[in-house]
Amino acid sequence: MISHTLNINNKDSVMYITFPKFEKTGLVNLLFSTRVGGVSGGMWSSMNLSFNRGDKRENVLENYRLLCGCKGININNLVLSKQTHTNNVKTVTKADCGTGIFKESFCDIDGLITNQKGVALVTQYADCTPLVFLDTKNKVIATSHAGWRGTVKEIGKKTVEKMMNEFGSNPADIIVGIGPCIKECCYEVDDPVYNEFSKLSYLDLSKIFQKKENGRYMLNLVEANKQILINVGIPYSNFDLSDICTCCNSDVMHSHRKTKGERGNLALIIELK
C-alpha cells in the first residue's frame, strides 16, 4: 500500500495511518488502523476493532491495546458508538470514557465531538468514509462515519455546525481529514444513489460520479465529502485527503465490498493531548 497524501507508519509490527496536517499541530493523538498487527484470526485477521462481528472479545480488546499503544492512548479513555448510517452527532465528556468498550454503547450515533483532553473518540469503518476534525483555536475534536447514506445526509456539515454552535468554532480554524475508504475505482452505485446526491443542489455531480456504459455510476466519496465541507466553510487548504482505496488494498485494509461482508472493522481514534 502506498499513499502520497497520508503517512503510513509501523510500530511494534502494527501498521497505522496518520494525517500530516494534524500531526504538525502537536495537539492530538490521531491514528487510523489497518488490518496489520493484531491478534485476530480468520476473516478478522489480524487487527479487527469491532466487538459485534463475531470475533472474540479478548482479541478485540488486545487489538485496541496494541493500536492505542502506538500513540500512548489509554484504552480506558475510548468512546465508541453503534453506527447506523445516520447523521446523528453527540458531544461527549470524560464521564463517557469506556462507553462502547467497557460499558453500554451509544445507539444510532455516527459522529462524536469533545473539547476535553483524555477523551479518545472512536469511529469504525470497512469501506465507508472516515471524517476527522480539529479546531486548532478552540481545541475541539470530532470524528464522523460517512458511508454514502451519511454523506448524502451531510453528516460532515452536521458535525461542523455542532462544533460551531456548541464551542464557537470557526470553519476557517478547522482542519479536516478524509481518510481511507472505497474509492471511485471500485464503488459502483445505481440511479437511486445518484438521485439522492442530486437533491443537494450545490454539489458538482460531474466530479463525484462517473457514468458507466451500463447506466450505473462510479462514486467518489472523498470528493463528495470535500464539497459538502467546503460548502459549510472549510477552506480547501485545511484538508488532508486520502488517496487510499480500502477495496484495492483489502490485503491490509478491511473492505466490506471486497470480502462480501466477511471482515472485521478498521478504526479511527482521535484524542486531545
What domains, with CATH codes, occur in the chain?
Answer: 7-182+238-272 (3.60.140.10)
| CA pair distance 110, 232, nearest whole angstrom | 19
What values do phi and psi take at 256, rounded to 5? -65, -45
pLDDT digits (tens, 9 = 90+) for 199-227: 999 999 999 999 999 999 999 999 999 99
Tell me the β-bridge partners of 89.
111
Which stretches of the chain score pLDDT less than 50? Answer: none
List Cα–Cα distances, 9 to 19, 35, 217, in angstroms.
Answer: 11, 13, 34
Strands (DSSP E) along the chain, which ranges? 7-11, 14-18, 28-33, 78-79, 81-82, 89-91, 106-107, 111-114, 120-125, 129-135, 140-146, 174-178, 188-189, 209-211, 217-219, 239-241, 266-272
- C-beta of residue 108 within 8 angstroms of C-beta of residue 252: no
The per-residue pLDDT for 267 is 98
pLDDT digits (tens, 9 = 90+) for 244-269: 999 999 999 999 999 999 999 999 99
- C-beta of residue 157 within 8 angstroms of C-beta of residue 4: no
Residue 55, classed as helix, strand or coil, is coil
Q: How many CB atoms lie within 10 A of CB 27?
A: 17
- C-beta of residue 134 within 8 angstroms of C-beta of residue 23: no
User: The C-alpha cell of 184 is what?
Assistant: 471511485
